[in-house]
């Protein structure tokens, strides 16, 4: 049997301060598995993640629209629509939009710990405001 979800019914994380919004397609809540975490993310112009890394997690971004930069220990590189970015486990990284950006994200496994390097613990704190939306407080 196939399960069909409309994007408006999927869980979302909304980061008001940094202009980021993530919609989950596959996560523990939807699929009952923690092997992967999959979703799409929208960044407003200038929005970025904090510099961070994930223990025990491979990370992929596929840029669908827009452009930006990805920062790693090797430096800062431009990324554009159509680019696939692979971040190995434990590699420091930050994605920043230089124009509104929309991308597909895949993380595996979904049993990881994120360490923020240039922010505060509040950068990872989310509050559930209804059955499917969390807002960064």
For 15-66, how does the pLDDT look when each residue is reduced to its tens digit (9 = 90+)? 656 788 777 776 666 667 777 778 888 899 998 888 988 888 888 999 999 9
Q: What is the DSSP letter of 56?
A: T
Query: 36-136 has which CATH code?
Result: 2.60.120.10
Mean pLDDT computed over 122-134: 55
What are the residue ranges spanned by the domains of the chain? Answer: 36-136
What was the pLDDT predicted at 4?
66
Residue 30's region, left for phi above 0, alpha for psi from -120 to 50, else beta, is alpha
Cis peptide before 109 (omega within 30 of 0): yes
β-bridge partners, 116: 52
> Which helix (H) or strand (E) is 97 found in, with range?
strand 94-97
Integer Cα distance of 1 and 3 in angstroms: 7
- Which residue did the predictor score with more confidence, 75 or 115? 75
- pLDDT at 137 (0 to 100): 42
- Poorest-pLDDT segment among 23-32, 72-81, 88-97: 23-32
């Amino acid at each position: 049997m196939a399960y069909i979800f409309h994007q408006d019914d999927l869980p979302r994380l909304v980061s008001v301060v940094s202009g980021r919004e993530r919609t989950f397609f596959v996560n523990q809540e939807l699929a009952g598995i923690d092997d992967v975490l999959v979703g799409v993310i929208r960044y407003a112009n200038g929005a970025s993640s904090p510099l961070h890394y994930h223990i025990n997690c491979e990370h992929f971004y596929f840029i669908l629209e827009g452009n930006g930069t990805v920062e790693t220990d090797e430096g800062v590189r431009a990324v554009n629509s159509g680019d696939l970015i692979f971040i190995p486990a434990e590699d420091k990284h930050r994605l920043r939009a230089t124009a509104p950006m929309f991308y597909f994200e895949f993380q595996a496994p979904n049993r990881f710990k994120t360490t923020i390097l240039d922010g505060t613990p509040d950068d990872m704190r989310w509050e559930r405001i209804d059955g499917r939306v969390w807002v960064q407080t």
